[in-house]
Structure 1
């Protein structure tokens, strides 16, 4: 801590140097301030950026006269001669349609005009952030073409492009100042929880589609690049305060606030530094979907109910097959599954959202310019949120940190960083409810009381009960007598005890102390070799997984996993620079898999001399290594266990099922007779090699229950053995064509893509019997597996594998923008997406495309409607689509969302007042089955600039 305080103290020290300072303001033709304009001295490294009110201060060791170069996206570059240090500089930039001249870096790992980008690319600038009608810039990314947002929590949103979207999106990469934001344990991005502060954003670039050729195996569906402001270019103190209210039917009206500060200082031409702090606090969207997970229309009063946002009802028993009540009751008990009474999600979490981000960096330029810069950067993220995977998890006081050391120059960078996370007091909601119930009354006792009460009602011992539904209601009421009630002291005590205990048999705490070590480097030979631009680079990463056996199979020993990659790229311009050809090749190798090559070839062709009309096309073969989850997970989520398929993981995982273990599956009297014991140890080998498909089990179960007892042999003929191979890398062949240009004042960007996936990675459930051999159409007179399933002596596992079928996806996008009446700017985009997967040939595999076929977005804005008053209206619409996930499946309804903001620039106060509202129509909508519906959000913010 003292070290951090020492770093912070640097920003409050005063160091004197022989410098001159000039100041001024940058505006447009309507006297509207231009924020983020770049001001630099030609021939020198000194530069800065204009603040929100257009003002700037530029320090330099060079004495006037000299020439300033002033530039900003959307405006023609100006050159201003400075003759005196006391000269007040007033710069007016002339607006021009320069959409094709914007500079991007991500497409080819080198600065290039967007017109020369060989692939589709989207961009958000400082100007766009000011205009966004969303509560944060990260929320505003949803309005970009190609972007699909999946909201698990108000503070946990995952971005996806081109289909196959999930909250746990392992196919998409997010980089902040070159650092991967992915969780070390889970391998996916946690939204902006450890990302970047809104007032520190310099630019955001989105590269949709396969990008493995340059960015490695994890950049399978796209990459989001967020770059922060350099303290050399943007110094001073910036602060904002944001206050608002969220409205949702389930949660009501709740306040939230968000504030932050950025401090940056240039101490001399060699040294600069900055610090950022931000805090978000509010109430999350309540998750209140009480539909049954499996049976549409099943209500809460059904004896087999298992609600989507209800937990603890995963404890299930078939009363008749278990026969724990004696022979007199056996014949009258129902041959149906009974579930325990669960707790709502709102009973198990306060639904509070909190996110604190702190980062600081120090920048050292040994030569006083950009030839070499050494950067030390540290980032810290704390808070609460809700994450949805195979269950719903309360991320409570989680902590994640990143530390980076980077050397960079004009044509190279070398960086190394580490990411570490701590789960804090996070917990699994399923096991929280299960074990609160068990603290009060064991599963065995509860089901015995239920069965005894049902038997008494069925034999006429309870007056007034004549139908089966009332018998079930009486039995549940009897078994629930004395149940812990949310809000009571007894419930709170049980809750606190459970969430502090990591043992799934008695608790629900999630343990995570994992980390990654990553290094990468790149060198561009363009100044050494002029016939073509050649780049080479590579990366190396080590995972150290540590969940102490709670999530991964690392109870006895840690799991270390490494991967590396090398790449090269060649670019060449031909035909008087009208044609640019690019070829890339990357080789990646991960610990458990053979290496893979990812080639990419692309072209950009300027149709006209001015390059106002440009065609582009690319083809690449990308691949994705199975994530550490796919390989090493061993996660009990109550009604099933997730088991990774790394060869050594199958024996690393084992669990004991049986009567003497509370909540781990009761073995029937029949099963005890076969096993000769009341426990059974299962391993990952059993799950992958001795299991039935879940679909065939459901067919078997229905036939067996509806038929006579003698029909067991007939029912077993419906069983199908799960034919599962160990997971291996998946690959894609990606074709992308596009046009970008200006036509009659309209800036157009049109693209189409076609992807062919092989060995697509996914997971599905299998049913593993405690005894007998799993086989297709087993003969139950010689195979005990049918009896195991009939007597509920089985375990459900979710395993990871590849489908043998080819998965295809295609899509098209159109982006359009134009300045219309006076200073109004209109922009809009449309995306079409679809995929092709023959479900009938592999019915147990879920591809989880999770993407609407049609999406439309539009924005109209004016930065100067009246005086310094600006306004933006944004709208988006998506068609309905199917959502498939390991947590729940269902349809996402179509949604129309309108957002609005107005801002006023107080030039004399160097501040901006902004008022906004989202989802003005008020109709709540969902983006993830199982997450809370999204309501309305109102906010007002005050931002003060240097």
Structure 2
């Protein structure tokens, strides 16, 4: 109530201040309007920005005379003296090549020019967002140097910088207005699900590489900063609408709709409000890869154990004597989901400036919900998924302090593999299905003389549909129902029942109400300490896992743990301000692990008479704490189970498994109880068991010495050069070398139901394990651990941009990336680098072809590369992608119309094994800005 009264008092009292309103316009030397130019009262927080036709209205309590500063990216700033309240201010800004003079904050937590940044940094401003060739600004990030996308869904794209990234990129952070966008349970970013609207983006900054010295845990391979517009400087109502179509071989041609509205009002110089709402709907890039995950052909006709990559249910398999390995008939991914993508985002904020200085209090609430596809160990349909964040922040000229909470709800989300398994089981149990198959297979061969493929076809028809040839129709009719055909009433009813059940033995739904609480603060002593710029800061975080036992081992109540950290940074210039030194040091501690120290040291030297030749060198470190899943997951995925390695989690995870008749004959009970201890303490490596299964030689078996997971570290060395030469040729060069220690990874191990693993073949307990493996009395686990192998990566990038004719600008960049790892050091380690060795991107554009007409072209090319993940491995082919857009401004309507297309003239292409191939998309948008 007190906060409410304070806000209302500020609201009403603000009107008692006499205000001066200065109006005017901002144009370039060609008399073309400059939208988005900043107009600020010198020495005051009062400010405004120009609209689409370059006009502005600046309200201030200052009385003339005073000065205003007018600035815009790509132009020289200008200061104008205002002498009267009714003065009309028309400003002409001179073009200037300032790409490297743009101000960024993220690299050092303090404002500095891009050219002086101690590390590689990429930036997208208002103009770049307007000119993007993608349907959204977030999709347009793919055209930035250093960025590679991993696309799981048309609305779920994961950013990869410098490798070792899957769809679930836990090594990359994304901050929106200072808030971590990561899911509390999944520990990675869900694209732009709860991000920011196209019409509310002020700027985007991207730091590829390690940044833990300033940003703590998980700032390992990169950070994306998305900052929204202030309602004090960007007022009014803005609206956009996009309509387009997507075209993909599997999905066909489908509509694409995207709508957004932004409203902002500064009621007084002390109080402003802002709200955003966006709605997007589209049809998914359907995943329809039919390659087989088992040896043999890619169809049932030639492979009775066929396991299609995007067919689910056929992972349920068993060995039938005299028949071979057989899998059940699966369902396509498009049979198990409606393939519709939806995303609703909304945010509301109150901005309070209680004093006459730069201090601001921000109360903000964000919510994102919708439906998309996420790929992890399985394919997950996120249906009615919701994540919300609430923030309180106080910031000033030299400090900020913020606290925010993140809360998520899985809604009606489900695992598509389990959906298929349990729809199959609703028709007929696994035991009956395989019994039917074996009976028909063997009798068809014995009675009818059919060959193996013919017998397999007859057997599957009987197991699925209870249908037999007349010659063997004497087989008793099965008790189970025939297979439910997709689209049938029986199928729909069974699927509805399965999707509502969180018990994965019968259903597919997963539950998640996990939460995250985070606070951080920073103070810069630059106004108190003069010999150097010194900052100190810290953070605190608490995770609460709440899946009711469906994801984590939290069946008896939520599990929580905490992390905290503190840092300091010193920045000092020498040699007539040509040499800038930056040194940072951070300490972080997670509740379950030892503390970690992260240093960073960098030097930037500005050479040349105008200090336009800037050389940089840096050493920095990054570390990543094990995620909530790495520590506390306990998820039975059928063919294998995921077991987190927190010490208490090994006992929290338990399951009961039936023992074969042969195993019982050796004295084992009919069922055995297993725990996470079996996975980590009594298991062989998967590769050695596979070798033993072929050779029957016990010497092939290797004990899996799996250590409990601990934080991983990276040491990053980087050099770079930035400059603008010949007036308009900008150059950006960088090279890096990373050394990884305790690199986190997952391993597959196999634990026998009985016996003790070992290498002494004479030990009776070891002999029991041999029998358990032969009889199929064994369990596959995916465990979380660290490799002891030496891993390093290196890469370099070249970026060039130049105006080739008038305002036509050509840009090109090249990135090289590779990693080094000796597989013999750790045969079970899966690197998952998932990054092309060679990438080239080029652009050609002109925002001023005529007074109101602009266009842009982007082309991307990459070599083929190996994709590795728990869902599937395979080669991603080489591909070339061309995107284009053309836009036209209508100043009188304060509007811009844009028409664009992505993957123009290209065929469907892959970025993730198991995800849908990316097709073509065209769109037309209409944006109205005040």
Identify whether the pair has TM-score above 0.5, normalized to the shorter chain: yes
Q: 1:493 to 1:19 in 2, by over 3 A?
A: same
In 1: Cα distance, 2:13 partner to 2:526 partner = 41
Q: Residue by residue, what CA displacement relative to the aligned partner does 1:376-423 show, whole Å, maximum 9, x if unpaired?
A: 010000100000000000000001000000011000001000000000
1:325 — aligned with what? none
| Maintained 8 Å contact 1:780/1:786 | no
Alpha-carbon distance between aligned partners in 2 of 1:403 and 1:537, rounded to the nearest angstrom: 21
1:642 matched to 2:642? The reply is yes
In structure 2, the partner of 1:905 is: 889
Alignment of 1:237-248 (within 5 A): 237-248=237-248
Deviations for 1:694-744, whole angstroms, at most 9, x for unmatched residues?
1111112233xxxxxxxxxx4333221111111111111110000001122
How far apart are 1:923 and its partner, in Å?
1.1
Counterpart-to-counterpart distance in 1, 2:666 and 2:908: 54
Check whether the contact 2:202–2:229 (CA below 8 A) recurs between aligned residues: yes
Query: Cα distance, 1:454 vs. partner?
Result: 1.2
1:748 is aligned, of 731, 738, 749, to 731
**1:674: how far off?**
3.4
Aligned to 2:871: 887
How far off its partner does 1:35 sit? Answer: 2.2
1:427 correspondence with 2:400: no
Query: C-alpha displacement at 1:298, in angstroms?
Result: 4.0
Counterpart residue number, 1:309: 310
Q: Are the counterparts in 2 of residues 720 and 777 from structure 1 also a CA contact under 8 Å?
A: no
Distance 1:253 1:295 in 2: 34
1:69 aligns with 2:69: yes
- Equivalent residue, structure 2, for 1:774: 757
1:684 matches 2:676: yes
> Per the alignment, in what secondary structure is the counterpart of residue 189 of structure 2?
coil
Contact 2:526 2:534 in 1 (8 A): yes
Partner of 1:736: 718
* 8 Å contact kept, 2:297–2:306: no
CA distance in 2 between counterparts of 1:248 and 1:835 reads 33
1:363 equivalent in structure 2: 351
In structure 1, stretches of 5+ residues that fail to align are 321-332, 659-666, 704-713
Counterpart Cα distance in 1 of 2:579 and 2:293 = 55
TM-score (norm 1): 0.94
The 5-angstrom pairing of residues 755-766 of structure 1 reads: 755-766=738-749
Distance (whole Å) between structure 2 residues aligned to residue 925 and residue 183 of structure 1: 28
Q: 1:380 to 1:599 in 2, by over 3 A?
A: same
Match of 1:406 in 2: 393
Q: What SS does the corresponding residue of 2:289 show, helix, strand or coil?
A: coil
* Partner deviation per Cα, 1:513-541 (whole Å, 9 max, x = no partner): 00011000000000000001100000000
Q: Is the 8 A contact 2:709 2:744 kept in 1?
A: yes
- The 1:294/1:739 distance shift into structure 2, 3 A limit, reads farther
- RMSD of aligned Cα (Å): 1.9
Aligned with residue 417 of structure 1, among 396, 404, 408: 404
For residue 474 of structure 1, give the secondary structure of its aligned residue in structure 2: helix
Question: Corresponding residue for 1:323?
Answer: none
Instruction: Indicate the residue corresponding to 1:656 in structure 2.
Output: 656
SS at match of 2:511: coil
> 1:718·1:777 contact (CA, 8 Å) conserved in 2?
no
Go from structure 1 to structure 2 and tell me whether the alpha carbon gap of 1:233 and 1:167 turns closer, same or farther (over 3 Å shift). same
Q: Which moved further from structure 2: 382-391 or 617-626?
A: 617-626
Query: After superposition, what is the alpha-carbon deviation per residue over 1:798-847, rounded to whole angstroms, capped at 9, x for unaligned?
Result: 00111111100000001111112011111121100000010122121101
Counterpart CA distance in 2 for 1:153 and 1:489 is 28
Q: Structure 2 length as normaliser, TM-score? A: 0.95
Say whether 1:442 aligns with 2:429.
yes
Structure 1 window deviating more from structure 2 (614-623 vs 293-302): it is 293-302
SS of 1:696's equivalent in the other structure is helix
Displacement after TM superposition at 1:628 (Å): 1.2
* Cα 1:53–1:150 shift into 2, 3 Å: farther
CA distance, structure 1, for counterparts of residue 620 and residue 499 of structure 2: 47
* Whole-angstrom distance in 2 between the partners of 1:897 and 1:7: 51
Structure 1 range deviating more: 910-919 or 40-49: 40-49
Distance, in Å, in 2 between the alignment partners of 1:124 and 1:938 is 22
Of the structure 1 ranges 49-58 and 906-915, higher mean CA displacement relative to structure 2 is found in: 49-58
Instruction: Number of aligned residue pairs: give it.
Output: 907
Alignment of 1:18-417 (within 5 A): 18-295=18-295, 297-301=297-301, 302-320=303-321, 333-334=322-323, 336-370=324-358, 372-417=359-404
* Alpha-carbon distance between aligned partners in 2 of 1:752 and 1:432, rounded to the nearest angstrom: 47
The alpha carbon displacement at 1:13 in A equals 14
The offset of 1:80, in angstroms, is 2.2
2:476 — aligned with what?
none
**SS of the residue aligned with 2:250?**
coil
Structure 2 unpaired stretches of 5+ = 466-481
Q: State the partner residue of 1:710.
A: none
Q: Secondary structure at the match of 2:390?
A: strand
Equivalent residue number for residue 698 of structure 2: 716
Q: Work out whether residues 14 and 268 of structure 2, in 8 Å CA contact, stay in contact via their aligned partners in 1.
A: no
For residue 171 of structure 1, give the secondary structure of its aligned residue in structure 2. coil
Partner of 1:541: 541
Correspondences of 1:849-860 after superposition (within 5 Å): 849-860=833-844
Partner of 1:693: 685
Q: 1:316-371: CA deviations, max 9, x gaps?
A: 11112xxxxxxxxxxxx22x32111110101001111100000011011111331x
Larger mean Cα displacement after TM superposition, 478-487 or 783-792: 783-792
Contact persistence 1:716–1:777 (CA under 8 A): no
Residues 293, 53 of structure 1: alpha-carbon distance in 2 compared, 3 angstrom cutoff: farther
Distance 1:111 1:903 in 2: 32
CA distance in 2, matches of 1:675, 1:499: 40
Contact 2:270-2:353 within 8 A present in 1 as well: yes
Q: Is contact 2:211–2:621 with CA below 8 Å preserved after alignment?
A: no
Asked if 1 retains the 8 angstrom alpha-carbon contact of 2:583 and 2:599, the reply is yes
1:812 to 793, 796, 817: 796
User: Is contact 1:719–1:778 with CA below 8 Å preserved after alignment?
Assistant: no
Contact preservation (8 Å) 1:583, 1:599 = yes
CA gap of 1:361–1:296, structure 2 versus 1, over 3 A, is farther
Out of 294-303 and 799-808, give the one that drifted further. 294-303
Aligned equivalents of 1:537, 1:238: Cα separation in 2: 36
The whole-number CA distance in structure 1 between the counterparts of 2:762 and 2:375 is: 41
Q: Find the partner of 2:665 among 646, 649, 673.
A: 673
- Once the 2 structures are TM-superposed, how far is the Cα of residue 294 of structure 1 from its aligned partner? 4.0
When residues 675 and 554 of structure 1 are mapped into structure 2, their CA distance, relative to the original with a 3 A threshold, is farther
Match of 2:823 in 1: 839
The 8 Å contact of residues 218 and 622 in structure 2, kept in 1 or not, is answered as no
Shift of residue 149 of structure 1?
Answer: 0.8
Pairwise CA distance, 1:156: 0.5
CA contact (8 A) 2:11 2:271 kept: no
Partner residue in 2 for 1:829: 813
Question: In structure 2, do the counterparts of structure 1 residues 872 and 377 end up closer, same or farther at CA, with 3 Å as the change threshold?
Answer: same
The C-alpha deviation readout for 1:489-531, integer Å capped at 9, x for no partner, is 1100000000110000100001000001100000000000000
